[in-house]
Structure 1
């Protein structure tokens, strides 16, 4: 059973990686499901087994890449997770711009949001002692902050990375800390 799951995950990962490689070479509208399938050595039907469409793949590929680069599941520091994520985005501006120019930002937002939420839930929150803690309020505050952080990051990308990564992290962390003073 786990062998099948591993094979499924491996194929899904290969499709994500192939898509990201193609984004480096071609504008998004020129990337077809056929090209992605050929890059992986699978057929189109295999693609549709894993993804609904190319937008589904794009969102999951970007989320996969950010999760890998940020090491959100291993890291102990929220700042380190964010630094790795933002540095990867800046270093891969060709891919990011290709996606932003050719698709709605809502797809990028859907890819960034879960990574930031995991960083807040798994890395930042467990290390905080907050008086009068309320689970429902915590969830609302996390959601609110993640939406704001996600939008700020997208605006940072659209500004062609005007601020340094460390400046962005400093500002975001300031807001987060202020929420709990």
Structure 2
């Protein structure tokens, strides 16, 4: 029976397709939310390329903003407006600004490594890395001023160990060192290098990169080899000091 004239039929429960804005109630494709072709239309490879390009654009926006103001004053809205995307796109790729910053740092470090690192050219890599930091002096200074020293050290050590571990493993070569001892060596050099870098940044990067790279190379190359020899399997443990 129809409703009497002048009355309004009570609204029943809305269908899922109406509430979700998508026929069949399926969640929208994240790729479409970013203006990307769907996986079925263009293939996973194309989506991956576009996602990588979006990440790089977000990282470039963060880097530019770091040249203008401290890290703790940068918001996700600042980054998305600078990049020309929406907040949903940012959260599709990164959890927060720290996540973006760590990804950007790893990408730059990986680009410097470029698969060509060996025990013979550590000094060249150190020099390239230090020069890159110096080129981004305002950004690095803003990061150091924005975070507590403990927080900065923790985040840098987590990231540095991911980068340094493959380098140190290569220096180790086939020397049979127990994993526990070798992890201790990696941990030690990670914290030592991060402390030196932070001191260099906070001091205004006054020491020339060439000088610092040579010193770091001398300490790391010789020290790591000696540690590997002392810790190699089959050797008696070092005596405990009293």
Residue in 2 that maps onto 1:126: 170
CA contact (8 A) 2:161 2:186 kept: no
SS in structure 1 at match of 2:67: helix
Highest CA radius of gyration, 1 or 2?
A: 2
Matched, 1:71 2:100: no
Residue in 2 that maps onto 1:90: 134
CA distance in 1: counterparts of 2:124 and 2:154, whole angstroms: 21
CA distance in 2: counterparts of 1:63 and 1:165, whole angstroms: 20
Deviates more, 1:139-148 or 1:25-34: 25-34
Matched, 1:152 2:196: yes
CA distance in 1: counterparts of 2:105 and 2:162, whole angstroms: 15
TM-score in terms of structure 1 length? 0.82
Taking CA–CA contacts closer than 8 Å with sequence separation of 6 or more, which of the two structures ends up with the larger relative contact order? 1
TM-score in terms of structure 2 length? 0.63
SS in structure 2 at match of 1:180: helix
1:128: Cα distance to partner?
A: 4.8
Structure 2 spans left out of the alignment, 5+ residues: 1-43, 227-242
Out of 36, 39, 49, the position equivalent to 2:92 is: 49
Residue in 1 that maps onto 2:211: 167
Identify, as 1 or 2, the structure richer in helix: 1
CA contact (8 A) 1:90 1:161 kept: yes
**Count of equivalent residues:** 179
CA distance in 1: counterparts of 2:157 and 2:217, whole angstroms: 17
RMSD of Structure 2 on Structure 1 (CA): 2.6
